[in-house]
């Protein structure tokens, strides 16, 4: 396995040559250390020490979430990744979106790869809906001016009205979902990463979300979508 690099994933996405794949993953692996609750404690009880010694437990375990994953996605292609619960599908999307850096292997992403998954991730509980729009927009690489231009459309889509000025932690779960989905769909990525098809809120809002997602799918140059198998 080659030591990795998520090769320059240019956010300012130069027009890529259509002959080049949008995504090239070669032998990707992701290994992360897993801490047990007691690992960070300075107190070690004698019984805990003896148990760890008996089972020959090392202090830090490393778990392999992805191993030897290779694939390509070309312009116009739609790739479905099917696997059982816990197979590593969402983890793979997070690697493609740049949230996790692979431990080894090679990943080339030509263009912007953004996902409609973990939609509520990164919301600031004490900040208002509007402030969260700005925060998430900046995290997505947009400028203040770009966000400001997008705000009216986002706010309208949420149908939150004046509540957009209220703190996120005062929102109902349906309101949170509306805001999160509206923010997550505000930019059109080149490569769209979908974790199952999102069902959002009530039936009417769910219909709006479906329409918006269909539009994003049509505009994207490539699509990677997850589906969980039953067993």
Ligand X SMILES: Nc1ncnc2c1ncn2[C@@H]1O[C@H](COP(=O)(O)OP(=O)(O)OP(=O)(O)O)[C@@H](O)[C@H]1O
Q: Can you give the binding site for ligand X, defined by CB under 6 A?
A: 32, 34, 63, 65, 83, 85-91, 228
d(C-alpha 20, C-alpha 100), whole Å: 24
Sequence-ordered alpha helix ranges (H) in 12-128: 46-54, 89-96
Give least dist CB 104 to ligand X, A. Answer: 17
Give the shortest CB-212-to-ligand X separation in angstroms: 23
| Nearer CB in complex with ligand X: 67/146 | 67
Please, what is the Cα angle at 71 between 66 and 77, to 5 degrees? 130
Closest to 83 measured CA to CA, from 74, 73, 93, 72: 93
Alpha-carbon distances, residue 97 vs 52, 81, 140 (angstroms): 37, 15, 11
CA 138 vs CA 8, 39, 141, 152, 187: distances in Å: 20, 35, 5, 16, 12
Taking the CA of residue 84 as centre, how many other CA atoms within 13 Å lie in the half-sphere pointing to its CB?
A: 2
Task: Find the shortest distance in angstroms from Cβ 161 to ligand X.
Answer: 34
CB of 57 to ligand X, least distance (A): 17
Residue number with CB closer to ligand X (128 or 228): 228
By beta-carbon proximity to ligand X, the closer residue of 88 and 105 is 88
CB of residue 135 to ligand X, shortest distance in Å: 23
Nearer CB in complex with ligand X: 196/211: 196
Q: CB-wise, 190 or 195, nearer to ligand X? A: 195
Pairing of strands 222-228, 78-83: parallel
């Amino acid at each position: 396995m080659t030591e990795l690099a998520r090769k320059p994933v240019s956010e300012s996405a130069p027009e890529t040559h259509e002959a080049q794949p949008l995504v090239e993953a070669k032998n990707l692996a992701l290994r992360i250390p897993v801490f047990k609750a007691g690992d960070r404690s300075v107190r070690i009880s004698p019984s805990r020490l003896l148990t760890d010694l008996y089972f020959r437990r090392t202090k830090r375990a490393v778990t392999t979430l992805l191993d030897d994953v290779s694939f390509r996605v070309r312009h116009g292609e739609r790739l479905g990744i099917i696997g059982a619960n816990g197979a590593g599908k969402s983890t793979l999307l997070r690697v493609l979106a740049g949230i996790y850096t692979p431990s080894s292997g090679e990943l080339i992403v030509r263009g912007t790869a953004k996902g409609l998954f973990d939609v509520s991730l990164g919301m600031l509980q004490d900040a208002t809906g509007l402030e969260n729009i700005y925060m998430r927009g900046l995290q997505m690489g947009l400028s203040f001016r770009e966000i400001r231009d997008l705000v009216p459309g986002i706010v309208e889509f949420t149908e939150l009205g004046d509540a957009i000025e209220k703190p996120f932690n005062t929102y109902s779960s349906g309101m949170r979902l509306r805001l999160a989905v509206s923010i997550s769909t505000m930019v059109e990525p080149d490569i769209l990463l979908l974790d199952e098809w999102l069902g959002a809120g009530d039936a009417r809002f769910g219909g709006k979300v479906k329409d918006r997602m269909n539009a994003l799918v049509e505009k994207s140059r490539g699509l990677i979508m997850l589906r969980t198998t039953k067993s």
